[in-house]
Chain A
């Protein structure tokens, strides 16, 4: 789960990371009020889960409170990479002498958090990593001991010659590490970390991604989820305990298991179709899940046919068949459904489907070819 910048700022500041004051606004007049309180020139920043906000016009400078209101007026409601801006962050503009990058990621290869710093801050760090890897210093942190003071200071000296600045940056790295581990993050980033003309070291941006698996034991973090910033069908799916990702195609897919779901989408493409979604109904086979899955998929008007691909293990295929039966009794499904199921309680599932005039295939390739042919006929 990605946090908004204003949410991450709250966690950063609580950990003691020096950041300029500021606040979030949902209307131009709120933005104006915040700018008046802050005084001087302010920056108005769109709060959306998308990179490249500046390039998209989602970050503006304002010389006066009135201008701050006008900037907020322009940014609020703007669409950036398909996401509508509903909040802006208002912060004082800082004078910048230098920009650096400080980030922590959970590294799969070394299986520990890795701290990365670069004096080439303020820009896309992946680009720096690809073009000039020597400009990035990395350090794997042993999670049992945490980020040790000499490690942080060593990286800080990679950024700054001045000892006072290096000490300040090292402290910020230690604080960032605290935020990262205390909140179960997969990413924590300051880009840019700046020095001011007076020599202060400040974090001007805040980015955090929290491991979804933390949310059950951390209701405080779960509350930070902004459902308005997500695809509505994906929100609906999550509430129904389904994993769903909307895509651009027209073959709706209902599958059990993530790997098989991806392989099913790939097979649709292999036979010349385009998957409309990724949908994993998971291991336990509550018929309600199937009803919800069908409701979500049929609300996508692009969908011209629906494919079920169920390999029964823990999932009982008769539960899935009952789910289909219940769904069809509850609401009309206007598009054809192709069902492939095999495994646990397959015979029972087949007879349930036959009872409502449907057939079931047992071969995955056959089912995918059939559904793709149906979509092509409909076109």
Chain B
């Protein structure tokens, strides 16, 4: 078990012949992900890496291969179009890796995708990985290991840092999800917390947040009210000055809101164990895993 992606995931790669798309498709195939199709308009009929059939449209790919999920590596100007197309094709999971998608585009994409019942992850995210089953996106497979810790994060390499610390200490993961650093995205912390709470293969949740907005505060409220599994959290950007965008479009402190201190306080009030630094994750997770009964089976 896992959340959002598993052995049953049949993936279509939008932008499969592009520089990023082709590189990461090879990595996903190597990992054992069920990549069943690719889409690049005008290249229909070709095969990628001699195996994966390429189609002109997502609808055609779905019809011919039974794909149920899409990952998007197309450039920013075409990303909104790719998300609309994936939603129209009836896919239940859409992961958009593309960085730099205009926010105004997302105001139209998000309601469109939701009305069609699809889950969108991203944009500007590393995607997700269910260790040993499938990897949708760009999270390096070699730093992950199968296990019972669910991880959700707004960033990419910080996720790798923390996952690596867990794996090296013998703590595996059920699923790791990077929801992305943009101000408007398809999947929130709360969506992932709810899924991990309901996932029988997840015993503990690690949540990596950062400055900007109120997603972490809302997530903390949700944890207090509806999550019974232990949660360990981190907030990046304690040293960030207000009013400056720290790389991610979403990571900006406006006025007195969105600061690391505010978010850490919200975590603590919700009973979330707060890491002072990434390396703390191992000790905090170990202490709380020891207390869960499921691990004793």
Given contacts A113-B107, A211-B104, A314-B138, contact A259 B276 (CB under 8 A): no
Counting CB contacts under 8 A, is B204 at the interface? no
Counting CB contacts under 8 A, is B200 at the interface? no
Q: How far, in whole Å, are A278 and B244 apart by their CA atoms in the complex?
A: 10
Interface stretch of the complex, out of B33-41, B45-53, B95-103, B223-231? B95-103
Query: In the complex, which of the residues A181, A217, A278, A342 contacts B77, with contact meaning CB atoms closer than 8 Å?
Result: A217
Counting CB contacts under 8 A, is B106 at the interface? yes
Counting CB contacts under 8 A, is A379 at the interface? no
Interface stretch of the complex, out of A22-30, A62-70, A86-94, A262-270? A262-270
Query: In the complex, which of the residues B140, B247, B249 contacts A211, with contact meaning CB atoms closer than 8 Å?
Result: B249
Query: In the complex, which of the residues A216, A270, A344 contacts B140, with contact meaning CB atoms closer than 8 Å?
Result: A344
Q: How far, in whole Å, are A96 and B53 apart by their CA atoms in the complex?
A: 68
With a cutoff of 8 Å between Cβ atoms, the chain A residues found around residue B66 in the complex are none
Q: How far, in whole Å, are A109 and B110 apart by their CA atoms in the complex?
A: 13
Query: In the complex, which of the residues A106, A186, A256 contacts B157, with contact meaning CB atoms closer than 8 Å?
Result: A256
- A184 close to B102 (CB less than 8 A): yes
Counting CB contacts under 8 A, is B9 at the interface? no
Number of A-B contacts (CB under 8 A): 161
Interface stretch of the complex, out of B83-91, B207-215, B287-295? B207-215
Counting CB contacts under 8 A, is B143 at the interface? yes
With a cutoff of 8 Å between Cβ atoms, the chain A residues found around residue B250 in the complex are 108
- B104 close to A266 (CB less than 8 A): no
Give the nearest-CB partner of B162 in chain A: A263
- Which residues of B221-253 have CB atoms within 8 Å of chain A's CB atoms? 234, 236-241, 244-251
Q: How far, in whole Å, are A344 and B155 apart by their CA atoms in the complex?
A: 18
- A278 close to B240 (CB less than 8 A): yes
Interface residues on B, range: 35 or more
> Helix, strand, loop or mixed for chain B's interface?
loop
Give B residues with C-beta under 8 Å from A. Answer: 23, 76-77, 99-104, 106-108, 110-111, 126, 138-140, 143, 153-161, 164, 181, 183-184, 208, 210-211, 213-215, 218, 234, 236-241, 244-251, 255, 260, 276-279
Give A residues with C-beta under 8 Å from B. Answer: 106, 108-109, 111-113, 126, 142-144, 181, 184, 186, 211-214, 216-217, 243, 245, 247, 255-263, 265-270, 275, 278, 280, 283, 311-315, 342-344, 364-365
Beyond contacts A186-B183, A267-B277, A364-B278: 8 other A-B pairs, Cβ-Cβ < 8 A, are: A106-B183, A143-B108, A216-B100, A259-B159, A262-B239, A263-B278, A315-B157, A364-B279
What are the 8 closest A-B residue pairs judged by CB atoms, nearest first?
Answer: A259-B155, A258-B247, A257-B157, A259-B158, A262-B236, A260-B157, A143-B107, A262-B237
The 17 listed contacts between A and B (C-beta, < 8 Å) are: A108-B215, A109-B213, A111-B110, A211-B249, A213-B101, A217-B77, A243-B247, A245-B244, A258-B246, A258-B251, A262-B158, A262-B211, A265-B240, A270-B276, A278-B246, A311-B157, A313-B126
